[in-house]
């Protein structure tokens, strides 16, 4: 019985990849991975997706995880631009550095793509006054 279990495990782990095969990772996949990584960084209030992104979010009723993330994917590498809104009082260089590290790590681990650039664009600052106005 034990030998049967070992054989099953070995069969499951076997992957047949031919030299001619390839894996293509969509820009949407990379942007969602980056978006999740960005959303976990303290000090980031939101990502800035622009006018078109805001309309599609309202119409769909869902917040897109890739909002505010622009990605260019090559065969083995990617470049990522992140547009964010930060919380008032946070140190922007520290937030940007953390975003770059987390995005680079998450994309590399999940896709195997080499991350050439993670450019962070701070599009705004959310102040306590902005937050009070939105609660009404």
Q: pLDDT: is 89 or 62 the higher one?
A: 89
> Is 50 exceeded by the pLDDT of residue 20?
yes
Contact by Cβ (8 Å): 86, 95: yes
Q: Please, what are the domains in the chain? A: 18-135 (3.30.70.1350)
Q: Which of 113, 86, 90, 97 shows the shortest CA–CA distance to 31?
A: 113
Q: What is the pLDDT of residues 34-81, one digit of tens each?
A: 999 999 999 999 988 754 444 444 454 445 788 899 999 998 999 999
- pLDDT confidence of residue 8: 46
d(CA 121, CA 14) in angstroms, rounded, equals 44
What whole-number percentage of the chain has pLDDT above 70?
A: 70
Residue 90 carries which DSSP code?
S
* Residue 9 pLDDT level (bands cut at 50, 70, 90): very low
- Please write down the HEC assignment for all residues of 1-43: CHHHHHHHHHHHHCCCCCCCCCCCCCHHHHHHHHHHHHHCCCC
N-terminal to C-terminal alpha carbon distance within the chain: 66
In this prediction, residue 1 carries a pLDDT of 52
pLDDT digits (tens, 9 = 90+) for 99-130: 999 999 999 999 999 999 999 999 999 988 86
């Amino acid at each position: 019985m034990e030998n049967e279990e070992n054989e099953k495990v070995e069969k499951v782990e076997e992957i047949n990849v031919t030299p001619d095969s390839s894996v293509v990772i969509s820009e949407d996949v990379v942007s969602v991975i980056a978006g999740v990584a960005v959303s976990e960084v303290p000090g980031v209030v939101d990502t800035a997706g622009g006018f078109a992104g805001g309309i599609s979010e309202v119409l769909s009723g869902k917040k897109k995880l890739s909002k505010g993330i622009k990605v260019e994917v090559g065969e083995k590498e990617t470049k990522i631009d992140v547009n964010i809104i930060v919380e008032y009082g946070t140190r922007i260089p520290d937030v940007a550095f953390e975003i770059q590290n987390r995005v680079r790590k998450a994309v590399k681990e999940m896709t195997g793509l080499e991350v050439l650039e993670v450019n962070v664009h701070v599009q705004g600052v959310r102040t306590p006054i902005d937050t009070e106005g939105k609660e009404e």
